[in-house]
A and B are shown apart, each in its own frame.
Chain A
Amino acid sequence: MSKLTKGIHLRIRLVLTVIALFSGVLIAPVAAQAPLDPNAAAVSERQLLQQHYLIEGRGTIADTRSYVLEQPLGRVWRLIQAVWMRWIGAAAILITIAIFAVLYFTVGPIRFAAPRSGRMVLLFTAFERVLHWLLAVSFVILAVTGLNITFGRGLLLPLIGAEAFSRWSEAGKYVHDYSSLAFTFGVAILFLLWVKDFAPTRVDIEWFKQGGGMIAGKHPAADRFNGGQKILFWLAILGTIGVTVSGVFLLFPFYWTNVMGMQVAQIAHALIAVAFVATMIAHVYIAAVGMEGGWGAMASGWVDLNWAKQHHSLWVEREFGEGRDATPLAGGTPPT
């Protein structure tokens, strides 16, 4: 290799080195000057909505509920409240009525099996009856004013007009709130009064096996309350606990929960309430329509001894058994 070519080679290497050095010097500031993006760390609405049910931040006013910027779940609640609840509520009530209408026209009411004895016995004391009818009246008020919130806008508003419907609904709201007290405390007293009579026993299983007296000719044994009544009692207790717990959340809005909790409380209240209404429709049919003598038992408290033997044989046995006269349980005289 000649000296000349060696020199050219050296020069080329030098130039390449210099270019490499300069390019390094040049490239570094270019990288540092990459466009500043003030949005790089910024919160994104889409991302927040994917991660959280509600977007919450900090506010400057006392109302901490206002720190929730967005709660898209309101759309879900709206769907349940404005669409599903109407279907669920209507179905629960109409199907229950339909079932008992079919029962009435096929099986029919349970008639007196034996002729009346003429001897009356006291099945429900005056206190029990007053309590029962207090609960009945307050339940009907609660049911009507409650159903009005779900169904009134579609059914009643077009009939009576916006102004009258608003006045009625506002009054209904207050009446609902206050009659709930009568109902809840009434059920609490009823529970304490009757709980010992409503404990499930083996007799109840046999009672259900025999169709609860709906099958003609069969009169299954029962104590003061039969298996069906016990089911009703415990459903009513559960229903009352359900509407009371959810109702307290609604009566004291946002005291213990945020907007999601309020939505859950409202849905729970509405669902339990329509189930409760359906249960009570069943109760009214079975006790007052589907069974001869049932109405009188709760109206006057007195029932014919033979009716009592048919429906509550064990109770009659215990209270008015061998060697005992069919004298009234408590004081008072049977109505004439």
Chain B
Amino acid sequence: MARMKFLCDADRCIECNACVTSCKNENEVPWGVNRRRVVTLNDGEPGERSVSMACMHCTDAPCAAVCPVNCFYTTDDGVVLHNKDLCIGCGYCFYACPFGAPQYPHTGNFGSRGKMDKCTFCAGGPEPEGTPGEYEKYGANRLAEGKLPICAEVCSTRALLAGDGDIVEQIYQDRVAQRGYGSGAWGWQAAYNDSVETAPRRGD
């Protein structure tokens, strides 16, 4: 089984937000919920970089560790999913998540956040594959159809890579070796306790 991972090549991301909109569309994500977002660092300054970020499907996921009702589980593909029928909307996963991935349909107070929603790596949820119930709660199950997450599929610059972690890492390493620079695999340290070793910059 492949170990699924995301990798965003910040040197390629042009902040077009196609990943964000295609995700919302593909999964019919409700208003106010963004499973994926693009954050621009050093905006308008030399060295500006944009990173498309969503749930990184961590190894030993912090959300799963802190969940009071234990509603998270990891699939054989290494995708971190959760059961909305068990979620109580306490918000703890958001405090633990290094990437701000968990989202809540309501911004209400007095604990009325509603069931947590997050990126599923387009792998649906615990309901039977391809059922309307699964789609309504968790969105598309593209993985079951043999497809990769829509965000990476639509990425025009191929900045956002999704798939088998080893392959994704290899593609990025080859890219960096060829063009001579790379700002690294953002979030990999926090998510997988792993950084992608890239070839040294030309001239170093």
From the candidates A34, A65, A173, name the one contacting B90 in the complex (CB within 8 A).
A173
CB of A49 to closest CB in B, whole Å: 8
The range of chain A's interface size is 35 or more
How many angstroms from the CA of A150 to the CA of B61 in the assembled complex?
18
Asked, given contacts A68-B100, A157-B69, whether A262 binds B95 with beta carbons under 8 Å apart, the answer is yes
CB of B22 to closest CB in A, whole Å: 15
Asked, given contacts A44-B183, A58-B39, whether A70 binds B98 with beta carbons under 8 Å apart, the answer is yes
Chain A residues whose CB sits within 8 angstroms of the CB of B47 once the complex forms: 39-43
Q: Which of B67, B85, B92 is most buried by chain A, counting CB atoms within 10 A of its CB?
A: B92
User: Do A177 and B53 have beta carbons less than 8 Å apart?
Assistant: no
User: Do B99 and A70 have beta carbons less than 8 Å apart?
Assistant: yes
How many angstroms from the CA of A223 to the CA of B87 in the assembled complex?
52
Closest A residue by C-beta to B53: A69
B interface: dominant SS: loop
User: Do A152 and B68 have beta carbons less than 8 Å apart?
Assistant: yes
Closest B residue by C-beta to A73: B98
Chain B residues whose CB sits within 8 angstroms of the CB of A211 once the complex forms: none
How many angstroms from the CA of A49 to the CA of B186 in the assembled complex?
11
From the candidates B11, B48, B66, B87, name the one contacting A82 in the complex (CB within 8 A).
B66
CB of B134 to closest CB in A, whole Å: 18
User: Do B69 and A55 have beta carbons less than 8 Å apart?
Assistant: no
How many angstroms from the CA of A302 to the CA of B38 in the assembled complex?
68
User: Do A259 and B66 have beta carbons less than 8 Å apart?
Assistant: no
Closest A residue by C-beta to B83: A162
CB of A251 to closest CB in B, whole Å: 6
User: Do A46 and B184 have beta carbons less than 8 Å apart?
Assistant: yes
Closest B residue by C-beta to A81: B66
Does any Cβ of B come within 8 Å of A200's Cβ?
no
Does any Cβ of A come within 8 Å of B86's Cβ?
yes
CB of A174 to closest CB in B, whole Å: 6
Chain B 158-173 per-residue mask, 1 if CB under 8 angstroms from chain A, else 0 = 0000000000000000
CB of B46 to closest CB in A, whole Å: 4
Chain A 47-91 per-residue mask, 1 if CB under 8 angstroms from chain B, else 0 = 011000001111111010111111110110110011000000000
User: Do B88 and A170 have beta carbons less than 8 Å apart?
Assistant: yes
Does any Cβ of A come within 8 Å of B91's Cβ?
yes
CB of B131 to closest CB in A, whole Å: 19
Asked, given contacts A43-B49, A60-B38, A66-B37, whether A149 binds B90 with beta carbons under 8 Å apart, the answer is yes
Using a CB-CB cutoff of 8 Å, which residues 98-150 of chain A contact chain B?
Answer: 148-150
User: Do B92 and A81 have beta carbons less than 8 Å apart?
Assistant: yes
How many angstroms from the CA of A293 to the CA of B4 in the assembled complex?
66
Does any Cβ of B come within 8 Å of A166's Cβ?
yes
Using a CB-CB cutoff of 8 Å, which residues 271-324 of chain A contact chain B?
Answer: none
A interface list, Cβ under 8 A from B: 34-35, 37-46, 48-49, 55-61, 63, 65-72, 74-75, 77-78, 81-82, 148-150, 152-153, 157, 162-163, 165-166, 169-170, 173-174, 176-178, 251-253, 255, 259, 262-263, 266
B interface list, Cβ under 8 A from A: 10-11, 15, 17, 20, 32, 34, 37-43, 45-49, 51, 53, 62, 65-71, 83, 85-92, 94-100, 109-111, 113, 180-184, 186-187, 189-190, 201-203
- 16 A-B residue pairings within 8 Å (CB atoms): A37-B180, A37-B181, A39-B47, A42-B183, A43-B47, A45-B183, A56-B39, A57-B39, A65-B100, A70-B187, A75-B98, A78-B65, A81-B96, A163-B86, A177-B110, A266-B92
